[in-house]
Amino acid sequence: MRNVAIVGVGISRYGYRSDSNLAELAWEAINEALNDAGAGVEDIDTYIVGNTGVWSSEPLPAVVIGEYAGLQPKNGIRVEAACATGLAATRTGYSLIASGEADVVLVVGVEKMNESTTPQVVELIGRAGNYFWEFENFGLTFPGYYAMYATAYMKRYGATEEDLCMVAVKNHHYASLNPKAHFQKRITVEECMSSRYVAWPIKLYDSSPITDGAAALILASEDVAGKFTDSPIWIRSWGYANGTSNLSRRSDFIGFESTVVASRMAYRRAGIDPDNPVKFFDVVTVHDAFTIAEIIGMGDLGLAKRGEEYKLVREEQTYIGGLIPVNVDGGLKGKGHPIGATGVGMIVDLVKQLQQRADKGRQAPISKGMALAHNVGGTGHYVFTAVLSVDKP
């Protein structure tokens, strides 16, 4: 198996993008990634498109994007794993290079969610759990799923709605410093607390937005990475796992077993102590589709002791300068959650962090040379984790 480097990254502006169709939006990120790598489409062996696409007009996005980007007749495929599509697509590209099938792979995640109305999007995401049992019989939507986790966690450990809102405040703060983020406005705990309930205790400001956006990576084998950059970021390890489709088959609602399994797999492969992973990472992205997801995600990943995650939030230990900077790109909550692009966008920001070229006010101190990405599909139905490093594995 060959080592795989990230040699170029690009990301579109996230938000309501009525100014671009799907292919144009994807190209915005692809072009930036190609320029970042000093590469052309002729350098690409194959390309992977991460896209869920149930809310947008293009049923064959890989073909449409490939044609628009001038990639035909190169092979391109679409990958889907719900909200974890971005890291699933990245791992697919990684595997092609690691196995020797390709030397240079383009990965692009893209979503045009606002081609559907908000009620349609809520329904389509709600169908992604267990359709016949949970959606049809009980009407569960994803805010409802995460509300179940929030109420269970709050009852067991004493966290409050204000603690959830403190996650939103942090992520809006960093989104306001990110020119590509969906939300550019900072908020207060009071504003979050006064926002309307979506599914108690989840409020509007506890929820990630419906976002259009794209993000892209140029991956290269260790044999050719030096052709594109003298500061590659290496994909050191992967972890992945699935949760049950039916939530009634889960043992509790205070965390995702699939995240625990996926993170420990990645840690083992990267030589990271699973009992104290914080000391290995400079910065992490935790999948925060809702504010409670960031809190329980920190416990699942071993970044905080279970039941004490919200205390790190209260003490602002997840800001830059704290114990472990979390979601300093704004997270899904502030940066946005264009589902197919989300995981790829996480990698884009972590690469810039490790290369010390993040936006002013968002650059974490880099001393350990490693970062962690955590991408969840559904409520732990799919989970992918990736460890990135400055040093070659």
Each residue of 316-325: pLDDT tens digit? 999 999 999 9
Each residue of 325-340: pLDDT tens digit? 999 999 999 999 999 9
Look at 93-102, 141-150, 193-202 and tell me which has the smallest mean pLDDT: 141-150
Rounded to whole angstroms, the Cα distance separating 320 from 363 reads 8
Residue 161 CA from chain centroid, whole number: 24
Contact 185, 172 (CB under 8 A): yes
Each residue of 7-32: pLDDT tens digit? 999 999 999 999 999 999 999 999 99
Q: What is the mean pLDDT of residues 82-89?
A: 97
* Domain formed by 4-116+210-227, architecture: 3-Layer(aba) Sandwich (3.40)
Query: Which residues are identified as catalytic?
Result: 83, 337
H-state helical runs in the chain: 22-37, 61-68, 85-98, 118-126, 137-138, 142-157, 161-175, 189-194, 257-270, 291-300, 309-314, 331-334, 339-354
Domain residue spans in the chain?
A: 4-116+210-227
* Rg, C-alpha atoms of the chain: 19
Confidence of residue 40 (pLDDT cuts 50, 70, 90): very high
Each residue of 233-272: pLDDT tens digit? 999 999 999 998 888 888 889 999 999 999 999 999 999 9
State the amino acid at position 110 in one-letter form: V
Task: Say which DSSP state 12 is in.
Answer: P
pTM of the model: 0.97
- The pLDDT mean for the chain works out to 95
Residue 55 has pLDDT above 90, yes or no: no
Look at 127-136, 173-182, 229-238, 282-291 and tell me which has the smallest mean pLDDT: 127-136
Using alpha carbons only, what angle is made at residue 203 by residues 315 and 262, rounded to the nearest 5 degrees? Answer: 65
